[in-house]
Amino acid sequence: MQSIMQQTEAPIVDDLVRRRQRKTIAVVNDVLTAHVAEHSDFLRGLSPEVAPMTTAITDTLARGKRIRAQFCLWGAYGASGGDLVTGIPEMAAAIELFHFAALIHDDIMDNSDTRRGLPTMHRQFTDEHVREQRLGDSNNHGSAVAILVGDMCLSWSDDLAAMATDDLDLHSRRAVRAMWTQMRDEAYAGQYLDMLSQTEATTSRSRTDLILRLKSAKYTISHPLRLGGTIARADGALLHLYDQIGLTAGEAFQLRDDLLGVFGNPLVTGKPANDDIREGKRTLLMAEAESRANRSQRELLAHCLGNPAVEDAEVEALRSVLIATGADQAIEERIGELTAEALRIVESLPVDEITRTALTGLVERCVSRTS
């Protein structure tokens, strides 16, 4: 009898999750749209010539999957018992805008051509420079505009994060601000270490693990969950569990991203599948391959990684090495282990069934995604 009841209840819970998800994501999008529109209107009022810049922000920002926002929202729901606490939409939107700014700057550092199925921000303005036959170096112009756009979005995200704490007491407001600051600093440190790794001929396993935690696990899942939970007045025990979910599911998320960076379909991911190779990304996938490769395979890895002129046939050969050494399978197994641990923690959360089901779905979506 209990099994039949559970089977009946599951579709009801799934439907409630979908409805709450749609409603709250719509609220976050409304906050993002209104916030960016307010700044864009002011900028265009200063000069209509800035319109291409604000339009580029709006168009690209709209294409985000809102994964980090969703973790923030459900982290808050878990603490509040299902209520949409004041300030949560603003914090979720702030996280998305910070992420967007980071992507713009990251694409310049990595010299990437596409993002979210569109030309990267610096490529858009490089192309605009060429199209309009402007004076000066088109690449320098494109990068300069993109740096400015990223800085603007970063400052706008800070505005939203501050707005999210307006109704909190001083102690809670300082706790949220400290967590927000920590998230930013860890992301900056992770990005620097990632760039530093690309300057070296071998992959440091310990540094790769640290980059995984700083640049992805904490920033993608742990901090969004904890920021949402803190604004919704979660206790320390729940925040600790949120952090553990972030460290496990967040690492799995980045490992999936590393696999997609080499084996992904560009039509699905929205970015070239050989960018990570040409940029010399020292990922755990590459560390596994290096530790398992024979001499000729290591020579191929060394030749391809970080080589901007690497040919398509060489990239295919590198993919074959990753498969032949079993590196790709080792990463898949690690993703499976981390996912199982994350889902076990989600199942133990002292939250309502709707939140638990939603977080389960979010974790599974992060680790099994194709884009």
Answer yes or no: is pLDDT of 3 > 90. Answer: no
Identify whether the C-beta of residue 314 lies closer than 8 Å to the C-beta of residue 303. Answer: yes
Dihedral over alpha carbons 66, 101, 247, 196 (to 10 degrees): 150
> What is the distance, to the nearest Å, from the Cα of residue 60 to the centroid of all Cα atoms in its chain?
15
Contact present, 92 and 228 (Cβ < 8 Å): yes
The CA distance from 257 to 66, in Å, is 16
Indicate whether 294 pLDDT > 60. Answer: yes
The angle formed by the CA atoms of residues 282, 288 and 292, to the nearest 5 degrees, is 130
Percent of the chain past pLDDT 90, that is, above it, reads 75
**6 — pLDDT class (breaks 50, 70, 90):** very low
| 237, pLDDT greater than 50 | yes
The first and second tokens of residue 192, run together, are: 């620097």
Q: Kindly indicate the confidence band of residue 235, based on its pLDDT and cuts at 50, 70 and 90.
A: very high
What's phi and psi for 345, nearest 5 deg? -65, -40
Write down the pLDDT at residue 181: 97
Q: What is the per-residue pLDDT for 223? A: 97
Region 77-86 average pLDDT: 94
Instruction: Please say if the pLDDT value at position 229 is more than 80.
Output: yes
Write the pLDDT tens digit of every residue in 122-131. Answer: 999 999 999 9
Question: Any idea what the CATH number is for the domain that residue 74 is in?
Answer: 1.10.600.10
Q: What is the arithmetic mean of pLDDT over 163-172?
A: 95
**Banded pLDDT at 9 (limits 50, 70, 90):** low
Mean pLDDT lowest among 75-84, 88-97, 261-270, 350-359: 261-270
pLDDT digits (tens, 9 = 90+) for 177-203: 999 999 999 999 999 999 998 888 777
pLDDT score of 4 more than 60:
no
Using 50, 70 and 90 to split pLDDT, how confident is the model at 371? low
Poorest-pLDDT segment among 200-209, 257-266, 343-352, 360-369: 200-209
pLDDT > 80? residue 231? yes
Per the structure, the count of domains in the chain is: 1
pLDDT for residue 120 is more than 50? yes
Q: In Å, what is the CA distance from 290 to each residue of 318, 357, 370?
A: 11, 39, 25
What band does 363 get if pLDDT is binned at 50, 70 and 90?
very high
> 314 is in which domain, residue-wise?
2-368
Query: How does DSSP assign 215-242, residue by residue?
Result: IIIIIIIIHHHHHHHHHTT--HHHHHHH
Arithmetic mean of pLDDT, 141-149: 97
